[in-house]
Chain A
Amino acid sequence: MTHRGSRVLHVGSLSRVEGEGALHLSVHDGTVTRAQLRIYEPPRFFEAFLRGRSYAEPPDITARVCGICPVAYQLSACAAIENACGITVDPALRVLRRLLYCGEWIESQTLHIYLLHAPDFLGCDSAIELARTARGHVERGLRLKQAGNAILELLGGRAIHPVNVRIGGFHRVPTVAELRPLAGQLERALDDAWQTVEWVSGFEFPDAEVDADLFALAEPETYAIETGTPAVLRADSDTPNLFPLHTFLDRVREEHLPHSTALHATLDGRRHLTGSLARFAISGRWLSRTAVRAARAAGLGDPRAGVFSRNPYRSILVRAVEVVYAVDEALRIIRAYERPRRPYTEVPATAGTGHGATEAPRGLLYHRYVLDAEGTVTDARLVPPTAQNQGAIEDDLRRTAQRAITQSDIEDEELTRLCERAIRNHDPCISCSTHFLDLTVDRT
């Protein structure tokens, strides 16, 4: 069916995203008047479950918000609770946390690149279909993902919901002899990550630009992953503005809209985007030499000169560069590893409020806990990246659909495919906040 002034289009569920959800598009006289990313999360009440729990428990409990990025939840929870208790963790343990997080980045970003996103660029329904014609590429992706999982399994005990993270550090830290064998697997993974950059840089990227403010953690001299200060790069500026983490909830406001069980967030009342594009814009200048070369090879320019991209289709390139970085960083940490004297820093219970934020593969994840003197959680707030990105994703959808309708007599099926792509560009983790997503377009 081709372009008409009025029509209703209904498609089942959005695929190749983490979690399930829906999209609603309203078109009046050729103008998109509404583009909603609908998140039908069966409410999961984590913030309520956390109340009354011991301060030792949020790392294990909040991991269960998301099987795709459990480490992000565990380490944001640890950071917030340690902050509430006024403790700084031993630097040797902080490095191991970064290594664990690199494992999650490699696994999760590779999952997104190969299994969820690349099929969009290659006209396939899945990586499994892709494997019929390009098995070597898919095998490389699976091998790379496996290298990320190997870090998670060794350091965390298992890849999904690792058991070895605790406030103050780890239950057990590996010996040098246990950690070293990972280096061989990661050296091969570095080749695979490079080949991934080369592979995805050959894709075709439609022109597009997000005009949202970019929002990520900044940790001068390093590419912020497990720690940092919130930094905003406004759409009309070249310099990020930093603000203290404890003011996060004054700046990032969540609003509850009727069409979605995920809360909608704005930053200083404006639309903002977290995730790979934002991180690359804010921290790109601190990428390792290897990752800078990868960025140039990917056609992203020189991040050290402050060059970055606002094209959401090119986010797959940034993810590929981030995988190179995470593998390179993991190798650096493993080669320099000396076993810390103690597996964790003691964190005695203290009454207080603590804030923690880390860079989940799909964007900034903030936690805040209020503890009483016994260390019981009396209040908890979790702000996942997808809830923050929802406004920017919807804006992107609206513009994508509008452009398509204005430029051509686009058929329903093609428009649906385009909208799904626009959503996947942002790698939404709907399970962090959501569930059922189906596409409805009414045209009146």
Chain B
Amino acid sequence: MGAPTLAVFKLASCDGCQLTLLDCEDELLGLAGQMEITHFLEASSAVRPGPYDLTLVEGSVTTPADAERIREIRAASRHLVTIGACATAGGIQALRNFADVEEFTRTVYARPDYIDTLATSTPVSAHVDVDFELRGCPVDRRQLLEVITAYLAGRRPDIPDNSVCFECKRRGTVCVTVAHGTPCLGPVTHAGCGAICPAYGRGCYGCFGPSGSVNLPALIPVLHRDGMDDRDTERFLHTFNTAAFEEESRR
């Protein structure tokens, strides 16, 4: 039996999550020795048809063609992992889910009649079964390696779903909300980045989406106390994981 095959696909996205794989400078060649990369357009012109053992998908479903394409990708994949906020929660593109997309099209494109788009940006899991979802805008390199290594070892990835607050404590960062009254989504945001924003003196802006156990209503008064009005709060929650936080706020 040959090495397991790896495929990387993208839908509507910025390429950042698949770039994370190429940013694994120390591990890339080792990984290429353990897996056979059979479809990764950004990295290689050699493309082979599926089935693929492990498929990573970046990006959200925003066009009728991509809704079809993701079904084909699923059918060709033994194990499908979505990487990043777009693929797991619709990403920043999901802002259109709460807006008039026709008006958006008229604003951005001179000839809206040339544009074929869906009124929504949805995660891959809204269309097909997904074996594992890795959060982040972008995903974290260490977590991505953990997902791939876990696959190779035949185990579940060890990706805790606690909040960014845990990572701040571990990093020894003083709480920006407690110490400086800085609005921060850390208490409700999924860990994974290593709590970068508070370490750089700003509040977490939620790019990893909601954590496993979220009490969003409890955070809103704290944001108000720290100077955010309703509109600021709404924008704060509605950016890179807009659909996921929207779902949480309805719970």
Residues on A close to B: CB < 8 A?
A: 12-20, 42-49, 51, 53-54, 57, 60-61, 64-68, 70, 111, 115-116, 119, 125-129, 131, 135, 138-139, 142-143, 145-146, 149, 157-161, 163-164, 166, 170-172, 254-258, 261, 263, 343, 420, 431, 435-436
Chain B residues contacting A67 (CB-CB under 8 Å) are 13-17, 19, 138
A-B contact pairs, 10 of them (CB 8 A): A14-B41, A16-B44, A19-B15, A48-B99, A49-B95, A127-B43, A128-B44, A163-B197, A256-B109, A343-B201
| B92 contacts A126, C-beta separation under 8 Å | no
| A65 contacts B45, C-beta separation under 8 Å | no
Chain B residues contacting A128 (CB-CB under 8 Å) are 28-29, 32, 37, 43-44
Chain B residues contacting A111 (CB-CB under 8 Å) are 19, 22
In the complex, what distance in Å separates the CA atom of A68 from the CA atom of B117?
24
Q: How far is the CB of A158 from chain B (nearest CB, A)?
A: 6
Chain A residues contacting B63 (CB-CB under 8 Å) are 42
Q: How far is the CB of A231 from chain B (nearest CB, A)?
A: 27
| A258 contacts B32, C-beta separation under 8 Å | no
In the complex, what distance in Å separates the CA atom of A103 from the CA atom of B115?
36
B1 at the interface (CB under 8 A from A): no
Chain A residues contacting B137 (CB-CB under 8 Å) are 64, 161
In the complex, what distance in Å separates the CA atom of A47 from the CA atom of B108?
6
Q: Which 3 A-B pairs have the closest CB atoms?
A: A67-B16, A126-B44, A125-B46
| B16 contacts A16, C-beta separation under 8 Å | no
Q: How far is the CB of A13 from chain B (nearest CB, A)?
A: 5
Chain A CB within 10 A, most for which of B15, B62, B109: B15
| A163 contacts B200, C-beta separation under 8 Å | yes
Q: Enumerate B24-59 residues with CB–CB distance to A below 8 Å.
A: 25-26, 28-29, 32, 37, 41-47
B237 at the interface (CB under 8 A from A): no
| B196 contacts A255, C-beta separation under 8 Å | no
A-B contacts besides A43-B115, A261-B114, 10 pairs, CB < 8 Å: A15-B43, A20-B10, A42-B11, A47-B108, A126-B44, A127-B43, A166-B202, A170-B200, A255-B110, A258-B111
Can you list, as one digit per residue, whether each of B187-216 has a CB less than 8 Å from chain A (1) or not (0)?
A: 000000100110111100101000000000
Chain B CB within 10 A, most for which of A49, A70, A255, A263: A49
In the complex, what distance in Å separates the CA atom of A64 from the CA atom of B242?
14
Can you list, as one digit per residue, whether each of B74-109 has a CB less than 8 Å from chain A (1) or not (0)?
A: 000000000000000001110110010101110111
Q: How far is the CB of A252 from chain B (nearest CB, A)?
A: 15
| A61 contacts B239, C-beta separation under 8 Å | yes
Q: Which residue of B lies closest to A135 (CB)?
A: B29
Could you say which of A47, A66, A163 contacts B14, with CB atoms under 8 Å apart? A66
| B109 contacts A16, C-beta separation under 8 Å | no
Chain B CB within 10 A, most for which of A66, A68, A435, A436: A435
In the complex, what distance in Å separates the CA atom of A135 from the CA atom of B43?
16
Q: How far is the CB of A421 from chain B (nearest CB, A)?
A: 10
Chain A residues contacting B199 (CB-CB under 8 Å) are 157
Q: How far is the CB of A420 from chain B (nearest CB, A)?
A: 7
Chain A residues contacting B65 (CB-CB under 8 Å) are 436
In the complex, what distance in Å separates the CA atom of A153 from the CA atom of B95?
28
B233 at the interface (CB under 8 A from A): no
Could you say which of A17, A49, A170, A261 contacts B42, with CB atoms under 8 Å apart? A17
Q: How far is the CB of B44 from chain A (nearest CB, A)?
A: 3
| B196 contacts A160, C-beta separation under 8 Å | no
In the complex, what distance in Å separates the CA atom of A420 from the CA atom of B46?
13
